[in-house]
Structure 1
């Protein structure tokens, strides 16, 4: 059996995502691997599939109990033998599972790093074949990572004790270059295949809200998303408890989670959230790592976290099923004070402390920049991009004009220079405002020419302006607990009049849309059925089927088992186990509403049962949406892809003889201009055509016209 066959039969997917097949192939050839893939990028398949193709038992080292249980439950539901060893088991259960492992009853065994050197566990491993060890969340091995765990340092010693060194696979979602280097060196990976598929999560909207009433914003947001599941992160236990009580009193379905709660209390809260009994989890950063709840539609940081790595990992718990979801950070200056206090009370080496303060400032810059937020995040993780904007973050979607603040910037830069670059943001702002506090008078700053030259602004407004200049590189800050404001090379360009500075005023709240063309009433019925089955089997609902799978059922209305198996996320085992029940609900809904089948549109010009990676289904799913009358923009939204990708799908469709209706897709005036140019320069290349047209006509317009012409020629 090959990897493609296992992917379809056990996991219900037609094709691998970027990087998955390469990692699996390398492992099967005996090579160590390092896979850095975004949250929900499919890391687990990169060790689960090799485990099924190798003789012996694959060990998966995982940091959290909840992660183990979720993955083992999901594997068992797919007909794969797996188990875990952790502190939730009684001594009798531990002995029984160790005996079962010894007898070869499992293909995958999940274990916490703390348990690796237990003598009873090691004794069992000496008698069985272990071809492969997967280290999940491998960034935990680096002291520079945000989730450093000393127990991960035991992994190399454990590997050395085994009779034969297994193939090693290290996996993580968030790692800078420094952490990647640590992972390879500490684990002693041997010439590993290194796959970095990118850190981007295109389905996530990123937003930063500043200068707002946080509670009012949160209440308004939750009222507008009452049917959605989400996580709200707070910096302290006290805030978690206070916010949970307030939202609970207002009728919201909430659970809370923090490190000060007892184990049983935390477990009840977690289960309530995972099983969709409560829609909102309010928590400190103690919650979330390893939680595989796929239908989290929003993550709101009520307070700013400690660094970008922590933020991106916590925000990344939204939209694990690939559906559009929102990640919003509510910033206030007090958040920085809280984080610095938390750093102060944490014992660490001086060099480590400097790094922590520097990382905090990087996140502060993120909150104040007017650049694309997604590009800022990707740049932090070393992922370069030709794009300047993503079109799906609060900065990109804020189209109001920017105000020219070059004069204000010059005043601030001049003041920093005259204060000899020796003071912090607050002190500089006080001097510019003309404060008469004791320290300013003692230092004689009232004699400076810049003293009081921004008295018309409030001190907080000046501070915000300074932080904006820092975020955009016009100013810099030294590292450490009390950073000093410094000039940068960009400062000179502004002071000499070679560069102007623009800043938006009072960013507005941006609503993102998550529309999808589905039969909503049917989707609700399918969720009720899924919930009933989940309760009977004592597993979270998403273990049965994720929301994306139910959404496809409610969109394409399969009527047979074969059609059901073509829905993303339904393998043969789950199709056999649950197919009849879900098909019954779908057929009943179709009969009651006199609806004809939709899946049949996927059959035209297609052979769905090709062996190996199925490349045909993708464009035919787009064709089904086209037949429902969706525009290119709407299809791109539903498919979570670019509009150019949709055009490529449609081009492939008419190449196979399917009819495309271009009514409303192409502007007649633009089409006329493009055709005139094509007549002169030909239509082989987009660039010569674009160069001969006005700037407002995009490559996208040209592609639509070319597609229409070629479609007509094909017909």
Structure 2
């Protein structure tokens, strides 16, 4: 039997495993169940793919999305690993052919949608092949505490019970709180699983929050800063996707769109345009992205705030999958909170849950997650620390690679302003008003808005009592008070109103002081710390572009996405090492045996031609 490291080098071209991968593989080869929580880009799929090659029979991988299966199977074919998938996208004829070949032992890995597990045809196959392992990808979908609960995932333990012999069961996810971890292990009936947690911190990602007055202008500025790079822009609604995509295209950028309102055909075409780099920018709702393994995504911009940190971490994590520096920027406004609250309330109608009490419980959990997401978006302390703490992980209080850590702040006493805010809330309630954050700020700064005057809010004694803060600064201070539980938000009709707490009373009675962090100088985020590669010279970057051109041509000839040939990280390693022979090419990270045989000579030719041209130019 070959060693796992030898297979890793042969098929994937890497000399050593990433953190957690070898531990997972060793446990599987010892016959143990595994629960692995590893961040996006950490190489979860390698854990079960290498194991599958070393186990007898076949490995069943349960995956929630068609796009995920298709991409992974095509990538496995690229490196010479026999695999197939079974889902609703294949014809009846293709399905029967796949079943026949699987029964004949032609595949080592078979991807299947959870909805197919308990069908008679798939159970028929399961009785006739040796299933050594069942691997559950995106395992958080099994938990009702998670953000992507799927009813069909509850069929997985029933499927395993139907098998003639219980296989090794493994579960993999990038986003799981402690509660979700417990749910995964319990619901999937994992037996004394090896627990692998490699940490949620991805140091190559820069996290930033901006609060622009004009989001579209800010987005276009960010795209200008990232000119020539590939990225994703997430929006919360279909309407926003359409408007933002039009604005991006009108500005001259190659962009396409993705949301559930498009036809299957258009979604598929637009996704392909993005994957093949024909349109480097994807504007999408959260319907896009799970399982998309595009390695050269250099930025993810959230035009609207997601509904929870789990979603944000997962979506932002689609940047920098190749380990290269990447940006994750959130454009925040208070309207995002109202939009998400509305979407959460509306989800009652579409939720795949029959029990009324459970439905209300899930709605309340969603609101609590939204609250934590809002705290992140309005934070003046380290964003990475706040996110990691949410997932139960200890971390330094400053990372040096987020917008808060790169902003200089000064501490100011804001007790008087806080008292004015609390007084406004109290006076408004006594007068029968239910004020949102925005409306309360309008009152406090003495806004002349028509709605303020029409509602006679200018008659309140607290009207205009804050004269040295902008509307935005007042709202930010409210957000800080809410985070400290010195002020609260509670649902009133279709919006959230401000409410006093026990902490409010302490401030009013001078039993508690309030300080706020005020930015002095905000550094430009065009090139955050760590986004340039110091090992790449200007000459290397010229060679990199030539290698990309060769990759694009090969990808076009073969009809596959460019990153299927080689990831950007592999091309950069070629630039640094400048191999002259096939043996030296095999030492480049990401160049396995099959890919070296298929593409090695062509890329060696590009490198040799570039070096020869450089020598002539210097002579």
TM-score normalized by the length of structure 2: 0.90
Alignment of 1:503-518 (within 5 A): 503-505=517-519, 509-513=524-528, 514-516=531-533, 517-518=536-537
Once residues 502 and 405 of structure 2 are traced to their aligned partners in structure 1, the CA distance between those partners, rounded to angstroms, is 26
**SS in structure 2 at match of 1:559:** coil
Deviation at 1:10, TM superposition (A): 1.4
**Are 1:582 and 2:603 counterparts?**
yes
Alignment of 1:488-567 (within 5 A): 492=506, 496=510, 499=513, 501-505=515-519, 509-513=524-528, 514-516=531-533, 517-518=536-537, 519-567=540-588
**Cα deviation code 1:143-162 (max 9, x no counterpart):** 22111111111111111111
Q: Is the 8 A contact 1:476 1:488 kept in 2?
A: no
Q: How many residues align?
A: 591
**Are 1:388 and 2:397 counterparts?**
yes
Question: In the alignment, what sits opposite 2:481?
Answer: 469
User: Which one is further off, 181-190 or 401-410?
Assistant: 401-410
Question: In the alignment, what sits opposite 1:307?
Answer: 308
Q: CA RMSD in A?
A: 2.6
* Bigger relative CO (Cα 8 Å, ≥ 6 apart): 2
**SS in structure 2 at match of 1:292:** coil
**SS in structure 2 at match of 1:346:** helix
Once residues 165 and 43 of structure 1 are traced to their aligned partners in structure 2, the CA distance between those partners, rounded to angstroms, is 22
Deviation at 1:468, TM superposition (A): 2.7
Q: Is the 8 A contact 1:409 1:501 kept in 2?
A: no
For residue 614 of structure 2, the aligned residue among 581, 585, 593 is: 593
For residue 388 of structure 2, the aligned residue among 364, 378, 383 is: 378
Judged with a 3 Å threshold, the aligned counterparts in structure 2 of structure 1 residues 419 and 531 are, in CA distance, closer, same or farther, namely: same
Q: Is the 8 A contact 2:443 2:457 kept in 1?
A: no
Q: Which structure is higher in strand share?
A: 2
Deviation at 1:106, TM superposition (A): 0.6
Deviation at 1:400, TM superposition (A): 4.8
Once residues 595 and 309 of structure 1 are traced to their aligned partners in structure 2, the CA distance between those partners, rounded to angstroms, is 54
Once residues 314 and 491 of structure 1 are traced to their aligned partners in structure 2, the CA distance between those partners, rounded to angstroms, is 40
For residue 355 of structure 1, the aligned residue among 362, 365, 373 is: 365
Deviation at 1:484, TM superposition (A): 4.2
Alignment of 1:206-217 (within 5 A): 206-217=207-218
Deviation at 1:508, TM superposition (A): 6.1
Once residues 370 and 166 of structure 2 are traced to their aligned partners in structure 1, the CA distance between those partners, rounded to angstroms, is 40
Q: Is the 8 A contact 2:210 2:331 kept in 1?
A: yes
Q: Is the 8 A contact 1:305 1:339 kept in 2?
A: yes
Question: In the alignment, what sits opposite 2:118?
Answer: 117
The unaligned stretches of length 5 or more in structure 1 are 597-715
Once residues 495 and 433 of structure 1 are traced to their aligned partners in structure 2, the CA distance between those partners, rounded to angstroms, is 23
Once residues 286 and 536 of structure 1 are traced to their aligned partners in structure 2, the CA distance between those partners, rounded to angstroms, is 30
**Cα deviation code 1:181-233 (max 9, x no counterpart):** 11111111111111111111111111111133111111122122221001111
Question: In the alignment, what sits opposite 2:354?
Answer: none
**SS in structure 2 at match of 1:44:** helix
Deviation at 1:486, TM superposition (A): 3.8
Judged with a 3 Å threshold, the aligned counterparts in structure 2 of structure 1 residues 433 and 243 are, in CA distance, closer, same or farther, namely: closer
Q: Is the 8 A contact 2:78 2:595 kept in 1?
A: yes
**SS in structure 2 at match of 1:16:** coil
Deviation at 1:337, TM superposition (A): 1.8
**SS in structure 2 at match of 1:320:** coil
Deviation at 1:453, TM superposition (A): 3.1
Q: Is the 8 A contact 2:8 2:14 kept in 1?
A: yes
**SS in structure 1 at match of 2:233:** strand
The unaligned stretches of length 5 or more in structure 2 are 352-358
Once residues 423 and 222 of structure 1 are traced to their aligned partners in structure 2, the CA distance between those partners, rounded to angstroms, is 37
Judged with a 3 Å threshold, the aligned counterparts in structure 2 of structure 1 residues 509 and 364 are, in CA distance, closer, same or farther, namely: farther
**Cα deviation code 1:241-270 (max 9, x no counterpart):** 122222222221011111011111110000
Q: Is the 8 A contact 1:273 1:281 kept in 2?
A: yes
TM-score normalized by the length of structure 1: 0.78
Question: In the alignment, what sits opposite 1:701?
Answer: none
Deviation at 1:410, TM superposition (A): 3.7
Deviation at 1:452, TM superposition (A): 4.8
User: Which one is further off, 481-490 or 118-127?
Assistant: 481-490
Judged with a 3 Å threshold, the aligned counterparts in structure 2 of structure 1 residues 424 and 278 are, in CA distance, closer, same or farther, namely: closer
Deviation at 1:456, TM superposition (A): 5.4
Question: In the alignment, what sits opposite 1:249?
Answer: 250
Once residues 487 and 102 of structure 1 are traced to their aligned partners in structure 2, the CA distance between those partners, rounded to angstroms, is 65
Q: Is the 8 A contact 1:368 1:471 kept in 2?
A: no
Deviation at 1:116, TM superposition (A): 0.9
User: Which one is further off, 262-271 or 579-588?
Assistant: 579-588
Deviation at 1:590, TM superposition (A): 1.0
Q: Is the 8 A contact 1:61 1:133 kept in 2?
A: yes
Question: In the alignment, what sits opposite 2:499?
Answer: 485
Judged with a 3 Å threshold, the aligned counterparts in structure 2 of structure 1 residues 473 and 7 are, in CA distance, closer, same or farther, namely: farther
**Are 1:71 and 2:72 counterparts?**
yes
Judged with a 3 Å threshold, the aligned counterparts in structure 2 of structure 1 residues 151 and 368 are, in CA distance, closer, same or farther, namely: same
Q: Is the 8 A contact 1:410 1:495 kept in 2?
A: no
User: Which one is further off, 459-468 or 324-333?
Assistant: 459-468
**SS in structure 2 at match of 1:463:** helix
Once residues 76 and 184 of structure 1 are traced to their aligned partners in structure 2, the CA distance between those partners, rounded to angstroms, is 31
Kindly name which structure, 1 or 2, has the bigger radius of gyration based on alpha carbons: 1
Deviation at 1:473, TM superposition (A): 5.3
